[in-house]
Amino acid sequence: MVQSYLRHGPTQAKIAAFGLICSSSSNSVFDGKLAYVPALEDVLVWDVKKGQMLAMWHETGHRAEVTCIKQSPHPDSFAVGYADGSIRLWSASSGSVLTTFNGHKKAVTALGFDEQGTRLASGSQDTDLIVWDVIGETGLYRLRGHRDQITAIRFISTSDDQPSTSSVTAAGLLLTSSKDTFIKLWDLCNKHCIQTIVAHRSEIWSLDLNNDQDLIFTGSGEGELKAWKLDHEAVAEGLKETETGEVQKIIHPISTLPLSSRHRIAQIKFHSTQPYMAVQSHERSVEIFRIRTEEEVKKKQARRKKRAKEKEQKSSNDGMVLDVGDEVEIPHELQLVDMFTPHLVVRASGKIRSFDFGLEPLALKGSTQLFLALASNALEIYNIPPPSKNKEEPPEAVRSFSVDLPGHRTDIRTLSLSSDDQILASASSGSLKIWNMKTTACIRTMDCGYAICSTFLPGDRHIAIGTKSGEILIYDISSSSLIETVKAHSSTVWSLHVRADQCALVSGSEDKNVKFWEFEQRDASGENVQSGKLLTLVHTRTLKMTDDVLSVKYSPNGKLLAVALLDSTVKVFYEDTLKFFLSLYGHKLPVLSMDISSDSRLIVTCSADKNVKIWGLDFGDCHKSIFAHEESVMQVAFEAKSHYFWTVGKDKMVKYWDGDKFEGIQKLDGHHGEVWALALSHHGNFVVTGSHDKSIRVWEKLDEPLFLEEERERELEQLYESGIVDDLNRVEAPIGDARPAVAAEVEVSAVTKQTTETLMAGERIMEALDLADTERRTFHEYEEMTSRLAEDDAMKLQPPPRNPILAAYDLAPDAYVLRVVEKVQSTALQDALLVLPFGKVVSLMAYLNIWAQKEWNIPLVSRITFFLLKIHHHQIVANRIMRTTLIPLRKHLRAALQRQKDVISYNLAALQYIRRKNEFERTAQFYEEGLDEEKVEAKIAEGKKRKRVHLKA
């Protein structure tokens, strides 16, 4: 009989990952009230004022990290870029994906919407720039020219690009910056780069435009902030030669703006309504510049001229010959410095990952909100006061809100569960947090040193933490207080374990000592503790070892003690006499963790040599050595009452193993950093893991059975499919040449990217075509046979049975094919059609003709027809097989499109008539009611005031 296991995975009942406030993989967006921040593969929506998480944008099965977030001009829509090159448009109100764009081969690094929010431009680490049609849900074109990662994208609107009747696609300019030190200006009408500027000596990390779109600021890796002038007149005139024969430039350099620090400029941002610009060039601070108006700049320059004249007069009075009539000219660079004056510096409590201005005005007049997302898993909001007239007291930013309690600032190094699995303790360098496992809410936060290991003490009211400094800290959970600090060791405490009878604790340290402690209760007199009794540790014995102790473990029957040493061996002692029993040697690098099964028969050890070894505790023989992870295996633990065990490693994986059959049961990938900590439910219901990415993940045991053969087959299929996709997305190579060819540098190309979804969609279309063709052929043969027979004989001939699928849906073959094609996502349709061989294209063309004749989904029919004709043009022209299909298709499609055009034109004319009539009536009513002299005089005579009428547009 084939053995089955139960599958583990994240469930919707519990949030799969918690302990995250924001991750440092992407920028964040703040709209004045809500903050939209990345949390590894999800996006979290925080009400920063309340410190409450309102929503989590999570797509089941998607594991790639968020790398870029951009809000659309339509406030409800957000574009989110991911590390796998995909872009998803999310609806903020429903928290669901509107559409998915796939075109980039590497992580998306920059996003930009145009003014109307109908086009989206995306830049990536693969150096490509793609313009997407948001409404049509398709990629318009791919622009190539940059040689390194694109760092910023901005649309530049040109006034009245085209008349409304123009057939030219929406034009405009696109400004991009990259790590290749270039700024590029693209003409989207001609899909061509019209100006390239070598802006800095090092990478350009940030770029932004002012609200009037005439000033461009760029920031480099060397901390240089440059300003550029965008000439809108040159844009309107188009490209033309100057007197010297050079092409007229649109972007001109102005000057550099001095900053208080010379670090990499990570972000530049203009406030959308207030006269502020913010620059982040230091890890922990943001410099705010105030933008003066032209009048203020003129006043400042006038004062400067006045002071210069006074100096001249003074110097001439002192005997120096100067022409008083000469005026000191203010150079052009000073105008920029005069316009952008340093206002204040906002200093955060940690490294800043990104910042944003709050858009909603505050109650305090003139003050502005600055939102900071920190790399240390925290959010902060500062109030920026308006400029004060008092020069003695410079304005200072005040922190108004912060969100930092629901997550750790540093890596989670240790996890432990209470005996009833209701409470989880997680500790890192600086903080210990207690979580409610049902709600995944953080219920306690306590300060601690650099925590390395932890364990709940008997009764689950106290928790012990082993620190890097060698202390054991004992905390009372109910009062959130540190009740005792035991100076246990002179160096790092690597391991703590409570004996199965709950009467003793053992600690192992870097100082080569294993110390034994017993529990004692003392009265909590005079201490702020709710419970009457407190647990303390009493040192009873010490076992001195020859090397650093990395892990200690009691056997569940309480008879043996296992000690892992830095010399890569594990020594097993009798617990009562501490006499030596066994030595387990075989690992090439130190054993980092170990565990003993509940029946005390097996011990499993994991090591930095990437191996897991299973040993028998009776003779110390190695049952099996398994190459478990690609990196060091950090922790191992047996499941309760079984020989199944779990391992976690630096390769970001969590793995489930069978200790009797020595086989891997399941691989769980979800973490985006090294997995340091592991805790197993005492009832075997779930597993908790903690990671370098500051997230805590819960993997629950599901009711779904798992068979090893099926699991291996599924893994092989995934490898095979990903291999096919990689081959299809490879740069085109000559026929018969296995080596990838260097593609010719084409500035504009189509947006295509094959994924497993598009391959599956293409296969579904092919299956539907085969099924429908077979059905049509069968019934055509039946009709031909009946037509050749006499009428009486034809009545006796039974019609063939319908295909079960068509009979179930009760659809004709052509309607079934349309149903399958309509179910393919709009964004994946073109890539799915590319999968079809030419024979299936001929078949699909016949169905397109039928759909056009019946006027079914004409927009989809037109889109497919034009795409197939463009892709297969050479083959269609080369043979005459398509002639019988294309001629009637042209006739039917033109007739259908003409009818649709007539209907739209009629409706448009009717709507324009209704609008004109409405405007005429409103205008007439306004003049009739407002300027009727007799009525006005009568009302005045009555002594009534005229009523105000509010007209809404």
Q: Give tens-digit pLDDT for 804-839.
A: 998 898 899 999 999 999 999 888 888 899 889 988
Q: Does residue 893 sit within a domain?
A: yes
Mean pLDDT of 46-69: 91
How much is the pLDDT for 731? 57
Q: Does residue 516 sit within a domain?
A: yes
Banded pLDDT at 734 (limits 50, 70, 90)? very low
Residues 6 or more apart whose CB falls under 8 angstroms from that of 674 comprise 411, 631, 634, 649, 650, 652, 691, 692
Which of 859, 881, 899 terminates a domain? The answer is 899
Amino acid letter, residue 516: F
Question: Could you list the residue range(s) of the whole structural domain that residue 813 is in?
Answer: 756-899
Mean pLDDT of 608-630: 94
pLDDT at residue 185 greater than cutoff 90: yes
Half-sphere exposure of 618 (CA within 13 A, CB side): 3
Write out pLDDT tens, residues 84-136: 999 999 999 999 999 999 999 999 999 999 999 999 999 999 999 999 999 98
Q: Does residue 588 sit within a domain?
A: no
Share the mean pLDDT of the chain: 86
How much is the pLDDT for 322? 42
How much is the pLDDT for 12? 55
Number of domains in the chain: 2
How much is the pLDDT for 948? 58
Mean pLDDT of 568-575: 94
Q: Does residue 420 sit within a domain?
A: yes
Query: What pTM was estimated for this model as a whole?
Result: 0.85
How much is the pLDDT for 949? 57
Q: How far apart are CA 679 and CA 688, in angstroms?
A: 5
Q: Are 746 and 731 in contact (CB under 8 A)?
A: no
Output phi, psi for 668, to 5 deg: -120, 115
pLDDT at residue 321 greater than cutoff 50: no
Order of strands across the sheet with 580-584?
549-554, 560-565, 570-574, 580-584
Percent of the chain with pLDDT over 70: 89
Question: Structure tokens of 710?
Answer: 């099926």
**Does residue 682 or residue 1 have the better pLDDT?**
682
DSSP H helices, 789-931, are 791-796, 804-809, 813-823, 829-835, 838-854, 858-871, 873-878, 883-930
Q: How far apart are CA 373 and CA 354, in angstroms?
A: 5
How much is the pLDDT for 492? 95
How much is the pLDDT for 392? 60
CATH number at residue 502: 2.130.10.10
How much is the pLDDT for 306? 84
Calculate the CA 844 to chain-centre distance.
38
Mean pLDDT of 376-382: 93
pLDDT at residue 302 greater than cutoff 90: no
Q: How far apart are CA 42 and CA 23, in angstroms?
A: 10
Write out pLDDT tens, residues 770-785: 999 999 999 888 888 8
Q: How far apart are CA 352 and CA 346, in angstroms?
A: 11
How much is the pLDDT for 362? 56
How much is the pLDDT for 790? 76
Mean pLDDT of 253-281: 90
Q: What angle do CA 908, 910, 911 make, to 5 degrees?
A: 65
How much is the pLDDT for 881? 79
Banded pLDDT at 309 (limits 50, 70, 90)? confident
Q: Which of 557, 527, 552 is nearest to 541 (CA)?
A: 552
Banded pLDDT at 330 (limits 50, 70, 90)? very low
How much is the pLDDT for 361? 57
Q: Does residue 250 sit within a domain?
A: no
Q: How far apart are CA 648 and CA 687, in angstroms?
A: 11
Q: Does residue 222 sit within a domain?
A: no
Q: Does residue 392 sit within a domain?
A: no
Banded pLDDT at 670 (limits 50, 70, 90)? confident
DSSP 635: E
Give the H/E segment covering residue 251: strand 251-257
pLDDT at residue 327 greater than cutoff 50: no
pLDDT at residue 571 greater than cutoff 80: yes
Banded pLDDT at 490 (limits 50, 70, 90)? very high
Amino acid letter, residue 505: L
How much is the pLDDT for 267? 94
Mean pLDDT of 354-368: 74
Write out pLDDT tens, residues 146-183: 999 999 999 998 765 444 333 334 578 999 999 999 99
Cα distance from N-terminal residue to C-terminal residue, the chain:
76
Q: Does residue 436 sit within a domain?
A: yes
Q: Are 82 and 96 in contact (CB under 8 A)?
A: no
Mean pLDDT of 275-301: 87
Banded pLDDT at 366 (limits 50, 70, 90)? low
DSSP 579: -
Among 173-177, 526-530, 703-707, name the most confident range: 173-177
Write out pLDDT tens, residues 402-446: 998 889 999 999 999 999 999 999 999 989 999 999 988 999 999
pLDDT at residue 270 greater than cutoff 60: yes
Q: How far apart are CA 920 and CA 923, in angstroms?
A: 5
